[in-house]
Structure formats: C-alpha cells, structure tokens
Structure 1
Amino acid sequence: MPADSVVENEIAADGVSVQLISHDWSSPVECEFAEASTDHVIALQCQPPQAVSMGRYMESGDREFSRIGRVLVIPAGQALHVRATGGPVQAVRCAVSEQAVNRIAGFDAIFRRRTMREALDIRDRRIADTLKRMGEEVRHPGFASTMLIDSLSTSLIIDMTRHLEMTCGSSENRHKGGLTVRQLKLLSDYIDSAPPGMTLVSLARLVGLSRRHLSRAFRQSTGQTVHEYVELTRFRRACELLSTTDLHLKEIAWRTGFGNPCSFSTAFRKVGGEAPSAFRRRMQLK
C-alpha cells in the first residue's frame, strides 16, 4: 500500500487480513509502491474513481498504462506504478497469502502476463459486493467476525479465479446472463473511440442484440448501465485531455463524442460537479 496510508481498522484471520485504509494525494501524483512478496492484494475503492487513474505493473514488461478501476489486484511481490489526479482515497484492502490462495485456486497459474492488464480493472459485481461486505464488517465488527471474514475471503478467491479465467480465456466464454468477452471488448473499444452520434441502438447493432437485451446483459456483466459506463468513459477521457493538453473545449467535446461544447460542459458538470474550464484551472495550479 502507499507509504502514507492510514489503517483505520483491521480484522485478521488465517491467511487473510482485511483493512480499511485511507490516504490523501492532494495533488496530481505519480508514484510506485509494492505489496509484501507473500500476499496477493485485492482492493476496492470506496469513493467514485478518480478522474484520471492509470497504472502498470513494473515486472510485467508493459510500458503502456492502463485504467485503474474501483476494484484492482496487486499480485504478490508486484510493484505498481500509478499516475492519478489525486484527492482523498478510502479503500477496503484484502491481503490473502499465496499459501491460502494456492490451496483454494492455484492463483499463480492464473496471474500470468496475459492477465495483468485485466487485474487493474476488475468489473465483477460479486467481487465488488464481497469486498464491500468485508469493509462493512471491519468497520462494525459483530459476532464471529473473524470466521465471517475467513468465509468471505474463500468466496472472494473463487470468484476472482472464475473472473480471470473467463476474462482471459476463450472469447466465447459468457458471464451468466450477460455478454461474451468478445461482445464486451467490442463495446468497450467502440465506446472508448467516442464516435459522434453513438446511441443504444448503434451499440446493440454492433453486438447483434436488441436494445433491451443489451441493457440487461451489459448491467449483468459490468454492474453498470450502458449510460453510466458511457458517461464515465467520456468524463475520464475529458479529464485526461483537460489536464494534459491545451486543446480548446470545442476540440475536446468532439474527441469525447459530443456534438458541441455546450452539451459537453453540461455532461461534464453533471459527473464532476464543476465546469471543464474550472477543472482545467485547478489542475494547472497543482
């Protein structure tokens, strides 16, 4: 964990430790940190993701930064290089020993180089819900808390193993009731490209589904509605362009899929709580 993290509370069981941690990156930050060589760490950010939060594993050999989501994994002994806009961060941090993980799932056979990028942004509602429940138990311990944490960690390891196998396996694998990996990849790449005039109809046509089926399957697979995902993707891209370029708002609006600066500013303020120009000035002062 980052060196300046504060542990607010903790429950430890056999081979697992769950902590509520917080730290404050008060300005745009770039840092590296590593976990213990014998523990895999699965973490859930309690607040909405930072406007820009990117990372890469130092030992993976990958020079390209990938988006860090609300849930991420830091494999045992891995150093993580982070770039983010900063701000207060609260997280549920679950550290499980290699021995405990290997006993249940053989994690080391899953954490190969091909899974590293996926581990920075785990999009699985069951995993997020389990971490959230762990955090609630640590914040307000009750009867048999240690036993409950031990049971939840087993569930977490199993769900994480299934998720990584599905995400990194055959493109025909399908989340139960959701989308195939290939369909998710098509949608993600298309939305990231921010095409003008993108609609639910065009997204449904892209993956060969009806609008209703797409809406239901997308939420089942990601835990978000299509609209929420599109809004957040556009917002993060806009934050990146505002903080790292001198492009005019009209150009940024076009690059993020908006028809004009007015609709872009309205959407940005809705998600971020401030105007794009105010965000840019704040980033320039830091």
Structure 2
Amino acid sequence: MARPLIQREVAIMRVLIEKEVPLAGGSIVIGATEWIAPAAWVCPAESYVVCQRISEGHSALRLVTESVRNLEVYPQVRSLGFMPSTRAITMYPIERPLRTLNCFFDKALFEEATQIDANGWYDRAGSFLTLSSPAVEKMMTTIHRELIDPGFGSEQMIEAASTMIAIEMARLGQMHGGAHPSAPSAHGLAPWQLRRIRERLDAALEQGYPSIQELAAICGISRGHLMRMFKVSTGEALQRFITLERLGKARRMLAEDRLSVKEIAAVLHFCNTAHFSNAFRRAEGITPSEYRMRSRAGLCHIDGYTASSKIH
C-alpha cells in the first residue's frame, strides 16, 4: 500500500512525499522538494537512489559536493541523477519545487546485485551525479507511467523495471574498471568517457546542448582536466567540437529543406534566429538562407558530418 500524502519540514528544506510504493529491495517515491535557502542533503542511510526529474517550468538544480562545485543537475524533464549512501551534497533554491521520481535500493542488495561495494560506488559517484543512460531513463519513465496510470500487472512491471535499473547501474559502474574516475591519463579520455560525451551530444536535440561543466560531471573529472584530455583524445578543443557538432546538424537540416531557418535555430537550442545566423555565417562564410539556396542548386556537398562521429 502506498503511504498517504505526507509533508514534513527539515530546517530550510520542505519535502512533500506524494506517493511511496515499497519494493522487495527498496521503494519508489514521487516527491517534491522546495528550498528556502541552500540546504544539505544526504541519501538515507543504507540506501542508494536513482532520481529522475518530472517537474517542468524551472531551471536546473545547482549543487555542491566535497569534490564538485557549482554543478548543475536535472537540466530537463526526465534528466537522471544517482546518489550513493552517505554522500552529502548542498542544494540551492530554484524557482519552483523540484518534483522527482526516486528509485531507492537497499544498500546491501544493491551492492550484491552490482558487484561494487560502498567504496567503489563512492569513488564512482562523481560520474553519476548527472547520469546519462537511455536505458535507465526508459525504465524510470516506465515506472512513472505505471504509477500515474496503472494497467494490468503494474506491480510486476515496476519491480521488473527497478531490477533492470540495478543491472544497468552495474554495467555503468563496471565501465570504470575500479579506477578512480578523476585519475589522470597520458592517453586522453577513456573510451567510456568519450562514449558518454557522444551519447550526450546525440541527445542534444531533446535535452539541449551540454555545458562543459555538465560533460565534466558525467565523465567524473574536473572541467579543466576534461578540456585538456579531450584535446589529447581528439585534437580538437571541446568548445569548438560542440560548435562543429551543432553546425553539422544545422547544415544537414538546411539541406533537407523541411524546417525554416527559425525552426532550425529553435531545434538546435540557439537563443534566437539572429544568434544562429551569426554563428553559422562565422563558420561557413554565408548565412543559413544562402546555404540553403546553394544546396537546392547542388552547389553544397552534404556529407552528413557531425562532430560526434569523430568520437570512437
């Protein structure tokens, strides 16, 4: 049985639990949190939690940990995050209460299922505060749908989805191979780090283009270290790489001739059409409209290139 609606106040943080469903190895909680001022939060003892933002109409949540400062998490609806047991973070107020779907796992069962102990997950936590995983996102979305609009076998679906989340977390955790995520490398970024950058850029049309700080967080390293190691790995500065990725998609969209220049600017998350046109002209030497006219006349070679195709 789900616990009735509960509201409690903890110092300068209000937490509203909308729904709680027990599972064999944990629980599912939908809740809303509102901050009056910066407040510290610690995952409940003997637990791990995977979270997904489900609220709209507010900015990302800013937080600080002992190893990461001014990290922005949950930038969009359905964005994910992960917290290991006992890792303290400080959260800063946002415009509206943050509603999240939370999948809590019992510590002992989670560590047994993932074959990673508490120290291992603590070392990996910097990489997962902002979690990028289409598989986990899909399972969390399934859980949310079954909670809001339950169908036949909803309890079994929720249990199965939570189990799949634990399995996927094990796979993600094992990618680190036991090394501390911020360990330096003379050979650039690790394959799993390049893969996460590519996955995040591939999701940019839906989630917006990431900041360097966000990419550093999902790679588990500092902003400066990411920029240095990315240049070693690809020969390209990271900010330029993101710009090339964005403009590569713009060229393809202009050649496909299905969307207007204004619509393309919006899809690619430019702040306005003028900003998009200026960025495109600096890179290509012509405006988006001129590029479209040339592509119609067969004067532009369209190779489908995007920068992320260079990341292997």
**Is the 8 Å Cα contact of residues 130 and 156 (structure 1) preserved in structure 2?**
yes
**Is the 8 Å Cα contact of residues 83 and 125 (structure 2) preserved in structure 1?**
no
Please report the RMSD computed on the Cα atoms of aligned residues, expressed in angstroms: 4.5
Instruction: List per-residue Cα deviations over 1:90-141 (Å, max 9, x = no partner).
Output: 111111001221221124364133x232222112122112112112222234
Amino acid at match of 2:48: H
Partner in structure 2 of residue 202 of structure 1: 244
**Is the 8 Å Cα contact of residues 28 and 104 (structure 2) preserved in structure 1?**
yes
Taking CA–CA contacts closer than 8 Å with sequence separation of 6 or more, which of the two structures ends up with the larger relative contact order?
Answer: 1
State the percentage of identical aligned residues. 13
Amino acid at match of 1:138: L
The alignment's TM-score, normalised by the length of structure 2, stands at 0.53
Select 1:35's aligned residue among 26, 37, 43: 43
Partner in structure 2 of residue 66 of structure 1: 71
The whole-number CA distance in structure 1 between the counterparts of 2:33 and 2:102 is 12
Select 1:125's aligned residue among 114, 134, 138: 134
Unaligned runs of 5+ in 1: 216-225, 236-252, 260-286
The alignment's TM-score, normalised by the length of structure 1, stands at 0.58
Q: Which runs of 4+ in 1 moved over 6 A?
A: 184-187, 190-193, 197-201, 226-230
- Higher alpha-carbon deviation: 13-22 or 115-124: 115-124
Question: In the alignment, is residue 138 of structure 1 matched against residue 180 of structure 2?
Answer: no
Question: In the alignment, is residue 5 of structure 1 matched against residue 15 of structure 2?
Answer: yes
Partner in structure 1 of residue 301 of structure 2: none
Query: Which structure is larger by alpha-carbon Rg, 1 or 2?
Result: 2
How far 1:72 sits from its partner (Å)? 1.0
Select 1:56's aligned residue among 49, 59, 64: 64
Alignment of 1:66-215 (within 5 A): 66-69=71-74, 70-108=79-117, 110-113=120-123, 115-166=124-175, 168=181, 171-173=189-191, 180-181=195-196, 189=212, 202-203=244-245
Partner in structure 1 of residue 25 of structure 2: 15
Select 1:45's aligned residue among 31, 42, 53: 53
How far 1:157 sits from its partner (Å)? 1.0
The whole-number CA distance in structure 1 between the counterparts of 2:92 and 2:24 is 34
**Is the 8 Å Cα contact of residues 116 and 173 (structure 2) preserved in structure 1?**
no
How far 1:33 sits from its partner (Å)? 1.6
Change (3 A) 1:55 1:199: closer
Change (3 A) 1:180 1:5: same
Change (3 A) 1:138 1:83: same
